C-alpha cells in the first residue's frame, strides 16, 4: 500500500469516528450541520452546476410583455404576407390560449397606445381573427369551429415537493420526540437524585437512601463502558493472534452507550471498525432498560456493515420482538462464555460474553441487562 493510500485510509477512519461520535453525543449540532450542508449543496447544484433552464415555451406561457412582442410580430407578418393564411398563423400562435384571449390581448395593445405598436396592423389582425371560424388547437393544430382549446396545466406544487416536505416534517417530528424523550429521562434522573439528597438531609436511614438511589439509577459515566484494549490472547479455532482485542461493558444507567474501535494492521493501515450499541429497550421510566444490544462490524472493503443483535433471554424468546428486530441483524441469545463470529469480506470479529448480570424489577425475569461485558477480537481474513 502506498503512502498516499495509507493517508486516505487514515482520513476515512478519522471521518468515520468523528461522525459517529458527533451523532451520538451532539444531536442538535449534528442536525444543524446536516441542514447547513444540505442547503449549501442544494444551492450549489440548483444555481451553479445545474441551474433551471426553461426552453420551448409556448407564447401563451410567456409574460405579458413578451406576449405583446410576439403578437406584434404576428400582426406584422400577417399584414406583410409572411403567413399565407390565418390557419398558418393559428399554428404559429400555438396552444395554451383561446381565440378570444388573443383578440382581448390585441385590443389591450391597441388601447394602450404603446410606442412602436402598429395599431393599424394589430386592428387588422384582430378583425381577421374575429371573423376566423376556428380556435387555436392543441399543439398548434387548428381546431373545429366552436371548439375549446385545452388550457395549459394549472401551476401547482409538484408531488415530489409534497413528498419531500412530508419526509422533512416526519424527520423533524421524530427528532423532537427523541430529544424530548431524552430530556424527560435526564430530568427524571435529576429529580430522583434531588429527592434522595433531601431525604438524606431530613434524617432518613442509610438503607432507605440506598434503596432510593437504586431506583433512580442515575446515568453512569460513558468512560466506564468505553472499549479498553487488552492483551491479545489465543482464541480457539484461530491460528494467529488477533489484530486488535478490546473489552467493553454496558451498565444500567448508561443510556447513551455506543462504543467503537478501529481495526488496523501492524503498520497502522485502517481496515475497518467494530462496535457495540443499544438496539432495543423494554419498559418505561428512567434509566432505560436495555433488552438487546447491537454488535456491528464495518469492513472498508465490503459494501455493507454486518450487525448481530445480542438479545436477553426474555427478548430472544419473544417471537414478535425477534421478528421486529430481524431487519437489524441475526438474533443471538447472550450467554456467559459464548462466542459469536461476525465475518465480512476481509475481516472477522469474535464477540465473547465475559460477564452477564440481569436486572430485577416488575418486568419479566431476565428481560434487561444490569451489566454485560463483551470482549471483541478482530482478524484480517484476506486482502
Place of cell 459517529: 20
Residues 58-83 have pLDDT tens digits of: 777 777 777 778 888 887 887 777 77
Distance CA 265, CA 240 (A): 13
Q: Answer whether residue 206 shows pLDDT above 90.
A: no
> Per-residue pLDDT tens for 284-313?
888 999 999 999 999 988 878 899 999 999
Q: Which three cell numbers stand for residue 363?
A: 418486568
Verify cis geometry, omega within 30 degrees of 0, for the bond prior to 173.
no
- Which pLDDT does position 172 carry in this prediction? 67
Query: Among 21-35, 119-133, 198-212, 362-376, which range has the highest average pLDDT?
Result: 362-376
DSSP letter assigned to residue 96: S
Report, as an integer, the average pLDDT of 106-124. Answer: 76
Cis, peptide link before residue 292, omega less than 30° from 0 = no
What is residue 349's three-state secondary structure? strand
Question: Cα(355)–Cα(374) distance, rounded to whole angstroms?
Answer: 7
Contact indicator for 252, 369 with CB cutoff of 8 Å: yes
157 confidence band (pLDDT: 50, 70, 90): low
Residue 170: burial class (beta carbons within 10 Å; 0-12, 13-18, 19+): exposed
Q: Select the highest-mean-pLDDT range: 25-29, 175-179, 182-186, 236-240.
A: 236-240
pTM of the model: 0.47
Maximal C-alpha separation, the chain: 110
**What was the pLDDT predicted at 374?**
95
- DSSP for 288-312 reads -EEEEEEEEEEETTSSSEEEEEEE-
**Between vectors from CA 312 to CA 308 and to CA 314, what angle results, nearest 5°?**
125
Would you give the distance in Å from CA 167 to the centre of its chain?
Answer: 9
pLDDT(264) > 60: yes
Degrees (nearest 5) of the Cα angle 24, 180, 364? Answer: 80
Amino acid at each position: 500500500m502506498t503512502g498516499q493510500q495509507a493517508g486516505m485510509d487514515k482520513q476515512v477512519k478519522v471521518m468515520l469516528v468523528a461522525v459517529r461520535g458527533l451523532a451520538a453525543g451532539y444531536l442538535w449540532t449534528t442536525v444543524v450541520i446536516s441542514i447547513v450542508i444540505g442547503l449549501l449543496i442544494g444551492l450549489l447544484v440548483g444555481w451553479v452546476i445545474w441551474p433551471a433552464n426553461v426552453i420551448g415555451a409556448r407564447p401563451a406561457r410567456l409574460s405579458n410583455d413578451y406576449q405583446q412582442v410576439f403578437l406584434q410580430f404576428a400582426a406584422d407578418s400577417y399584414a406583410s404576407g409572411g403567413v399565407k393564411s390565418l390557419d398558418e398563423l393559428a399554428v404559429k400562435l400555438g396552444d395554451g390560449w383561446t381565440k378570444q384571449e388573443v383578440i382581448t390581448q390585441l385590443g389591450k395593445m391597441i388601447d394602450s397606445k404603446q410606442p412602436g405598436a402598429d395599431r393599424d396592423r394589430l386592428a387588422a389582425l384582430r378583425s381577421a381573427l374575429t371573423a376566423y371560424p376556428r380556435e387555436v388547437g392543441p399543439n398548434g393544430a387548428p381546431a373545429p369551429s366552436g371548439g375549446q382549446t385545452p388550457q395549459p396545466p394549472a401551476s401547482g406544487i409538484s408531488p415530489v415537493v409534497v413528498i419531500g416536505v412530508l419526509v422533512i416534517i416526519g424527520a423533524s417530528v421524530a427528532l423532537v420526540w427523541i430529544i424530548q424523550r431524552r430530556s424527560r429521562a435526564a430530568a427524571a434522573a435529576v429529580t430522583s437524585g434531588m429527592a434522595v439528597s433531601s431525604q438524606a438531609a431530613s434524617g432518613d436511614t442509610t438503607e432507605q437512601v440506598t434503596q432510593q438511589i437504586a431506583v433512580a439509577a442515575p446515568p453512569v459515566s460513558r468512560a466506564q463502558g468505553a472499549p479498553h484494549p487488552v492483551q491479545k490472547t489465543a482464541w480457539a479455532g484461530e491460528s494467529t493472534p488477533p489484530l486488535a482485542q478490546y473489552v467493553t461493558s454496558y451498565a444500567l444507567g448508561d443510556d447513551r452507550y455506543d462504543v467503537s474501535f478501529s481495526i488496523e494492521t501492524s503498520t497502522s493501515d485502517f481496515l475497518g471498525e467494530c462496535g457495540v450499541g443499544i438496539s432495543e429497550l423494554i419498559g418505561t421510566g428512567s434509566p432505560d432498560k436495555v433488552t438487546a444490544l447491537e454488535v456491528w462490524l464495518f469492513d472498508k472493503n465490503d459494501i455493507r456493515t454486518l450487525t448481530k443483535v445480542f438479545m436477553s433471554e426474555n427478548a430472544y424468546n419473544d417471537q414478535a420482538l425477534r421478528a421486529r428486530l430481524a431487519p437489524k441483524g441475526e438474533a443471538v441469545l447472550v450467554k456467559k462464555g459464548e462466542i459469536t463470529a461476525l465475518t465480512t469480506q476481509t475481516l472477522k470479529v469474535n464477540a465473547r460474553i465475559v460477564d452477564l448480570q440481569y436486572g430485577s424489577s416488575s418486568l419479566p425475569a431476565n428481560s434487561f441487562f444490569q451489566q454485560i461485558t463483551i470482549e471483541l477480537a478482530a482478524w484480517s481474513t484476506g486482502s
